[in-house]
Protein backbone atom coordinates (compact mmCIF):
# COMPACT_ATOMS: atom_id res chain seq x y z
CA UNK A 1 0.00 0.00 0.00
CA UNK A 2 1.25 3.45 -0.89
CA UNK A 3 2.05 5.83 1.97
CA UNK A 4 -0.61 8.39 1.04
CA UNK A 5 -3.22 5.62 0.95
CA UNK A 6 -2.18 4.48 4.44
CA UNK A 7 -2.59 8.01 5.81
CA UNK A 8 -5.90 8.40 3.98
CA UNK A 9 -7.18 5.19 5.53
CA UNK A 10 -6.17 6.35 9.01
CA UNK A 11 -7.83 9.76 8.48
CA UNK A 12 -10.98 8.14 7.22
CA UNK A 13 -11.18 5.82 10.22
CA UNK A 14 -10.11 8.22 12.99
CA UNK A 15 -11.08 11.63 11.61
CA UNK A 16 -10.22 14.50 13.99
CA UNK A 17 -8.07 12.24 16.22
CA UNK A 18 -5.44 12.45 13.46
CA UNK A 19 -4.03 15.85 14.33
CA UNK A 20 -1.65 16.11 11.41
CA UNK A 21 -0.24 14.07 8.56
CA UNK A 22 2.77 14.60 6.37
CA UNK A 23 5.56 13.03 4.45
CA UNK A 24 9.23 13.80 4.23
CA UNK A 25 11.11 12.20 1.32
CA UNK A 26 8.72 9.29 1.22
CA UNK A 27 8.44 8.70 4.97
CA UNK A 28 4.80 9.11 5.93
CA UNK A 29 3.84 10.33 9.37
CA UNK A 30 0.60 10.66 11.28
CA UNK A 31 0.34 12.66 14.50
CA UNK A 32 -2.34 11.17 16.72
CA UNK A 33 -4.28 12.29 19.76
CA UNK A 34 -3.23 10.29 22.80
CA UNK A 35 -6.82 9.45 23.75
CA UNK A 36 -7.23 7.23 20.69
CA UNK A 37 -3.65 5.96 20.37
CA UNK A 38 -4.26 2.44 21.67
CA UNK A 39 -7.22 2.02 19.37
CA UNK A 40 -5.26 3.31 16.39
CA UNK A 41 -2.28 1.03 17.00
CA UNK A 42 -4.59 -1.96 17.27
CA UNK A 43 -6.29 -0.92 14.03
CA UNK A 44 -2.88 -0.62 12.31
CA UNK A 45 -2.00 -4.14 13.38
CA UNK A 46 -5.31 -5.86 12.74
CA UNK A 47 -6.78 -4.09 9.71
CA UNK A 48 -6.73 -6.40 6.68
CA UNK A 49 -5.29 -3.72 4.37
CA UNK A 50 -2.68 -2.33 6.77
CA UNK A 51 -1.44 -5.41 8.64
CA UNK A 52 1.44 -3.71 10.50
CA UNK A 53 2.74 -6.86 12.12
CA UNK A 54 6.08 -5.45 13.22
CA UNK A 55 7.03 -2.60 15.58
CA UNK A 56 10.36 -1.47 14.17
CA UNK A 57 11.09 1.19 16.75
CA UNK A 58 9.56 3.02 19.66
CA UNK A 59 11.28 6.07 21.01
CA UNK A 60 10.62 9.58 22.28
CA UNK A 61 11.75 13.13 21.63
CA UNK A 62 12.07 15.98 24.11
CA UNK A 63 11.21 19.25 22.33
CA UNK A 64 12.16 21.51 25.25
CA UNK A 65 13.89 24.63 23.84
CA UNK A 66 13.66 23.15 20.35
CA UNK A 67 14.41 25.90 17.79
CA UNK A 68 11.25 27.16 16.09
CA UNK A 69 8.90 25.25 18.37
CA UNK A 70 7.64 27.40 21.21
CA UNK A 71 4.16 25.97 21.65
CA UNK A 72 2.84 22.44 21.80
CA UNK A 73 3.51 19.41 23.97
CA UNK A 74 6.97 18.94 25.35
CA UNK A 75 7.40 15.27 24.43
CA UNK A 76 6.52 13.13 21.47
CA UNK A 77 6.48 9.34 21.52
CA UNK A 78 7.30 7.91 18.10
CA UNK A 79 6.28 4.52 16.69
CA UNK A 80 7.76 3.09 13.51
CA UNK A 81 5.54 0.38 12.08
CA UNK A 82 6.38 -2.04 9.31
CA UNK A 83 4.33 -4.68 7.57
CA UNK A 84 6.33 -7.76 6.65
CA UNK A 85 3.47 -9.12 4.55
CA UNK A 86 2.62 -5.86 2.72
CA UNK A 87 6.09 -4.31 2.64
CA UNK A 88 4.93 -0.83 3.68
CA UNK A 89 5.67 1.32 6.68
CA UNK A 90 4.35 4.34 8.58
CA UNK A 91 5.40 6.53 11.46
CA UNK A 92 2.99 7.38 14.28
CA UNK A 93 3.69 10.25 16.64
CA UNK A 94 1.77 11.12 19.76
CA UNK A 95 2.28 14.40 21.66
CA UNK A 96 2.67 14.00 25.43
CA UNK A 97 2.39 16.85 27.90
CA UNK A 98 5.08 17.37 30.52
CA UNK A 99 2.70 17.37 33.51
CA UNK A 100 1.02 14.12 32.47
CA UNK A 101 3.68 11.95 30.78
CA UNK A 102 1.65 8.77 30.35
CA UNK A 103 0.98 6.78 27.18
CA UNK A 104 -0.95 3.50 26.83
CA UNK A 105 1.39 0.54 26.53
CA UNK A 106 1.86 -1.28 23.22
CA UNK A 107 3.02 -4.49 24.88
CA UNK A 108 -0.32 -6.30 24.33
CA UNK A 109 0.06 -5.62 20.58
CA UNK A 110 3.76 -6.23 20.00
CA UNK A 111 5.84 -8.01 22.65
CA UNK A 112 8.99 -6.15 21.59
CA UNK A 113 7.46 -2.94 22.96
CA UNK A 114 8.34 -4.23 26.43
CA UNK A 115 12.02 -3.25 26.29
CA UNK A 116 11.46 -0.20 24.07
CA UNK A 117 9.04 1.23 26.61
CA UNK A 118 11.37 0.44 29.50
CA UNK A 119 14.13 2.32 27.68
CA UNK A 120 11.88 5.35 27.06
CA UNK A 121 10.89 5.35 30.74
CA UNK A 122 14.57 5.10 31.68
CA UNK A 123 15.76 7.94 29.45
CA UNK A 124 12.76 10.28 29.27
CA UNK A 125 10.59 9.42 32.25
CA UNK A 126 7.49 8.78 30.18
CA UNK A 127 5.32 6.11 31.77
CA UNK A 128 3.42 3.44 29.84
CA UNK A 129 0.06 2.57 31.25
CA UNK A 130 -0.50 -1.20 31.29
CA UNK A 131 3.16 -2.18 30.94
CA UNK A 132 3.74 -5.47 32.84
CA UNK A 133 7.14 -4.55 34.32
CA UNK A 134 8.12 -0.90 33.91
CA UNK A 135 11.66 -0.78 35.36
CA UNK A 136 14.78 0.98 34.12
CA UNK A 137 16.38 -0.94 31.27
CA UNK A 138 19.88 0.48 30.81
CA UNK A 139 20.58 2.46 33.96
CA UNK A 140 20.53 1.23 37.55
CA UNK A 141 17.74 1.60 40.06
CA UNK A 142 19.60 4.16 42.22
CA UNK A 143 19.86 6.61 39.30
CA UNK A 144 17.99 9.85 39.96
CA UNK A 145 16.36 11.58 36.98
CA UNK A 146 16.09 10.81 33.30
CA UNK A 147 19.25 11.72 31.39
CA UNK A 148 17.91 12.30 27.87
CA UNK A 149 15.55 15.01 29.07
CA UNK A 150 16.90 18.32 27.85
CA UNK A 151 16.80 19.82 31.33
CA UNK A 152 19.11 17.12 32.71
CA UNK A 153 22.36 19.08 33.18
CA UNK A 154 25.19 17.64 31.09
CA UNK A 155 27.65 17.88 33.97
CA UNK A 156 25.34 16.44 36.59
CA UNK A 157 26.99 13.53 38.41
CA UNK A 158 25.31 10.60 40.12
CA UNK A 159 26.70 9.20 43.40
CA UNK A 160 28.71 6.01 42.97
CA UNK A 161 26.92 2.80 43.89
CA UNK A 162 28.73 0.19 45.96
CA UNK A 163 28.90 -3.60 45.44
CA UNK A 164 25.72 -5.53 46.13
CA UNK A 165 25.37 -9.00 47.58
Contact 73, 20 (CB under 8 A): no
Phi and psi of 92, rounded to 5°? -115, 130
Rounded CA separation 134/127 (Å): 8
Closer to another protein by CB, 84 or 144: give it: 144
The DSSP secondary-structure symbol of 158 reads P
Residue ranges in 122-161 that form contacts with another protein under rule CB under 8 A: 139-140, 143, 147, 152, 154-158, 160-161
Q: Does 164 bind another protein (CB under 8 A)?
A: yes
x/- mask, another protein, residues 83-122, rule CB under 8 A, reads ----------------------------------------
Q: CA torsion sign, 106 to 110 to 111 to 112?
A: negative
CB contact set of 29 (below 8 Å; sequence gap of 6+): 21, 22, 23, 90, 91, 92, 93
Which residues on adjacent β-strands are paired with residue 107?
none
Minimum gap (Å) between residue 58 Cβ and another protein:
21
Closer to another protein by CB, 95 or 147: give it: 147
Minimum gap (Å) between residue 145 Cβ and another protein:
8
Minimum gap (Å) between residue 143 Cβ and another protein:
8
Q: Which residues bind another protein (CB under 8 A)?
A: 139-140, 143, 147, 152, 154-158, 160-164
Amino acid sequence: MDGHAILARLRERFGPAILETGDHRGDHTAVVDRARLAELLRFCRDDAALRFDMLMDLTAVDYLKFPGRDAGARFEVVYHLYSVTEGHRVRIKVPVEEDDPVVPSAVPLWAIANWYEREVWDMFGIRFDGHPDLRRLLLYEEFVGHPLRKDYAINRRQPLIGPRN
